[in-house]
Structure 1
Amino acid sequence: MPLPRLRHHGWRFVAGRAVREFWLGGGLDKAAMLTFFTLLTFVPTSLAVYSIATLVLANNAELVSELSADFIGTYVPSAYREAVGDVVGMVVDSSAGGVVGLTVGAAVALWSASAYVQAFSRCANLVYGQAEGRRFLPKVAAMLATTLFLLVGIVAVLVSVMLNATVVNATLGPLAEPLGLSGVLEYLLGGFLPVWVWLKWPLIVALVVVLIAVLYYATPNVRQVRFRWLSVGALVALMGLALVSVLFYLYLRFFASLSPYGAIGTLVALMFALWAANAVLVLGVHVDAETERARQLKSGVEAERELKLPPRSTRRPDRRDEVRDRMAERGRDLRMRYLED
């Protein structure tokens, strides 16, 4: 069934209600909670990304380290390259090992990194006004799968940014001659890479939009009408993330050296940037929820107060209600005992 299209007054309703719901619903507090989980899962996520990249690039840890150094030299301001390099070196040392070690390390890091996705799931449920109904194991499996998809997507973004002749040779070089693909390798090196320099940025933007869309679709306990590759909320979040990234880079480039607090001032700016990034992600969820509300209202559904979206599962709320009923019964027994005394 095609979704009803919104006109200008419908989009005004979406924008106004999304901002108000974000503010009244504690969107800034949700962003602060997600910022905590961002910091909590930073090292595990970095380990997982590094391990996955090393496994993808033919278990070539030296190549990944070299690409990381090139990335730092290109995109990190000179005043912070040494500090960022030390962090990357810590991650590289922690990920040392063969294929088995990298696989085990990636699995452990994946489990730890999923804490952010689970926290985002709780925030999304609050936005949609839906209790978490999925059982523990199915939900954990879904969150791990979502985390793995996001991590692979992050690796794809980083590889796309750093893709050069060295990466192509390291990935396809060992396979080109045995499989008779030497001509393909030569084409990639001579014809594709010069075009890729200009083509990669639109593709990277599209990939980031897909990652945000998957995060918005998979985390809440609601069965949405359909999966949207480019939702309005994802577009809002993308523009917000781009703005936050540009402002943070400008701070590092022009203002960090003027701060009397030195590294502490930069750390505070980083915390604020992470908080702002999570805030726009939460705002994007509100935009998607209010877009769905406006479409339901246009279809004649009474969704003024509650969205009429079915949950993925209601088993855990039923169990939660049973536990609360038992606790209420015990409280009632205690009250009656005091009255009798």
Structure 2
Amino acid sequence: MSTPSPWRLAVRRAWHGFVRHNGIDSAAALTFFAVLAAFPLTLGVVSVFAIFDDRDRSVDDLVAVLDIVLPDRAAQDLEGVLRELLSLDNPWLALGFSLAVGLWTLSGYATAFGRQMNRVYEVEEGRPIWVFRGTMIGVAALVGATGALAVTLLLGPREPLVWDVLRWVLIVACFFLAIALLYAFTPNVRRPHLRWVSVGSLVAILIWIVASGGVVLYSTFVDHGAVYGSLGGAIVALLWTYLTQAALVAGAELDAEFTRLKQIADGADAAERVRLPKRDARRIKTITRQRIADVADARTLQEQVPDEKDSA
């Protein structure tokens, strides 16, 4: 039997892991949390524009940015919503509300991402709820700040040419930083070091680019407005968000497999599972004690049931 190449083995195992760990369902769950966080975060961006910039010009700027990251006419479909948001009477209040709600909902996304990452590394969540949620809020704050920086760079000046090129380099760096934060701090495993750019994050972005191109082609040849009516742009944006989450999950699977390859090369027994230390095991111990107590109570109850043979 021929020995498979490391790359082929990693890709094959990553695909098997994506299927085994319900990557399709997890991408759908992550899409829900991403959409849930989208409104307060958008409200926050709009509130900043309403406070510090001309409101009419702000709509054009925001639509231009959304047109870059959303497929086809989805950005134009959202223009009316943005104009209504920019007409807020108290943008400072809206900004405070959006920051609080946006941070909480984005931490919900990080929590769901952490659950999937635990499936990828096949470990249980061992951090107590207050530690886990606190960590996810911290991750959400860092990812949110990275996203805010990317938006600021997108809306920044485009002159001179050197700065315009550097601006896009920094925006790409923001994407890699956000993915690195999610991959490193959401699972209950401790990585040897933080990798700002990994094979998994590179592949995730490549899959996202290909998937986005597919959505653009779909939008070009299918009149989704005629099929879905006024919801057409929102549905296409939802599909694009789903494919984005699926790409992130697939990248995480590949990241885990390349970690496995490195451990095997170093002589560790990682053929069955990746050997990484857990961040915390207190919750696992608590659940184990509860399960043991539940089983003991059930056995006690079972012993009190009269034997049918004896009663006969």
- The TM-score bracket by the shorter chain reads 0.7 to 0.9
Aligned twin of 2:14: 18
Does the aligned pair in 2 maintain the 1:48–1:151 contact within 8 Å? no
Give me the TM-score of the superposition, normalised by structure 2: 0.85
- CA–CA distance in structure 2, aligned partners of residues 275 and 120 of structure 1: 13
Give the drift of 1:93.
Answer: 5.5
Instruction: Give the Cα–Cα distance (whole angstroms) in 2 for the partners of residues 325 and 92 of structure 1.
Output: 56
Partner of 1:279: 246
Among candidates 65, 69, 90, match of residue 96 of structure 1: 90
Task: Confirm whether residue 72 of structure 1 aligns to residue 63 of structure 2.
Answer: yes
1:84-130 Cα deviation digits (max 9, x unpaired): 123324544569343x7633541232112211110000000111011
Aligned twin of 2:212: 245
Conserved in 2, the CA contact under 8 Å of 1:95 and 1:105?
A: no
Query: Given the alignment of the two structures, is residue 107 of structure 1 paired with residue 74 of structure 2, yes or no?
Result: no
Between stretches 114-123 and 134-143, larger displacement belongs to: 134-143
In the TM superposition, residue 257 of structure 1 has moved relative to its aligned partner by 5.8
In structure 2, what is the Cα distance between the partners aligned to 1:80 and 1:17? 36
> Which whole-Å CA distance do the structure 2 matches of 1:91 and 1:220 have between them?
36
Once residues 137 and 102 of structure 2 are traced to their aligned partners in structure 1, the CA distance between those partners, rounded to angstroms, is: 11
Question: 1:132, 1:316 within 8 Å by CA — same for their partners in 2?
Answer: yes
Q: CA separation in 1, counterparts of 2:52 and 2:72?
A: 24
User: Runs ≥4 in structure 1, deviation > 6 angstroms?
Assistant: none
Amino acid corresponding to residue 67 of structure 1 in structure 2: S
1:134·1:221 contact (CA, 8 Å) conserved in 2? yes
Q: Structure 1 residues 303, 330: closer, same or farther in 2, change over 3 A?
A: same
8 Å CA contact retained: 1:232, 1:287: yes
Matched residue, 1:184: none
In structure 2, C-alpha distance between the alignment counterparts of 1:65 and 1:151, rounded to whole Å:
25
**Aligned position for 2:260:** 293
Q: Which amino acid aligns with 2:292?
A: D
1:86 aligns with 2:77: no
1:4 corresponds in structure 2 to none
- 1:147-226 matches, cutoff 5 A: 147-164=140-157, 193-226=160-193
Cα 1:104–1:264 shift into 2, 3 Å: closer
Tell me which amino acid in the other structure corresponds to 2:99.
A
Residues in 1 aligned to 2:55 and 2:133: alpha-carbon distance in whole angstroms:
30
Relative distance call for 1:194 and 1:283 in structure 2 (3 A) is: same
- Corresponding residue of 1:138: 131
Equivalent positions of 1:113-124 (< 5 A) are 113-124=106-117
Give 3-state SS (helix, strand or coil) of 1:262's partner: helix
Q: Of residues 31, 35, 38 in structure 2, which corresponds to 1:39?
A: 35
Q: Following the alignment from structure 1 to structure 2, what is the Cα–Cα distance between the partners of residues 26 and 306?
A: 17
Distance 1:159 1:70 in 2: 11
Q: What residue ranges of structure 1 are gaps of 5+ in the alignment? A: 1-7, 166-191
What is the aligned residue count? 302
Cα distance between partner residues in 2 of 1:246 and 1:112: 28
Using the alignment, how far apart are the partners of 2:307 and 2:224 within structure 1? 72
- Tell me the percent identity: 29
Q: 1:256 aligns with which of 223, 236, 251?
A: 223
- Root-mean-square deviation (CA, aligned residues, Å) is 2.8
CA spacing shift, 1:70–1:78, aligned 2, 3 Å: farther
Superposition deviation, residue 338 in structure 1: 2.2
The separation in 1 between residues aligned to 2:225 and 2:102, in whole angstroms, is 37
| Equivalent of 1:338 in 283, 305, 309 | 305
Distance 1:239 1:148 in 2: 26
- Contact kept, 8 Å, 2:23 with 2:246, in 1: the verdict is yes
Q: Distance in 2 between matches of 1:258 and 1:47?
A: 25
Q: Could you say which residue in structure 1 is the equivalent of 2:291? A: 324
Distance (whole Å) between structure 1 residues aligned to residue 163 and residue 65 of structure 2: 17
SS at match of 1:41: helix
Deviations 1:47-80, CA, capped at 9 Å, x for gaps: 34545xx2xx8x8344477334223147538955
For 1:251-294, what per-residue CA distance to the aligned partner results, in whole angstroms no more than 9, with x for missing partners? 44553367544344444433322221111110111011111111
SS at match of 2:304: helix
**Can you list the C-alpha shifts for 1:148-185, whole angstroms capped at 9, x where unaligned?**
111111111111111128xxxxxxxxxxxxxxxxxxxx
SS of the residue 1:303 aligns to: coil
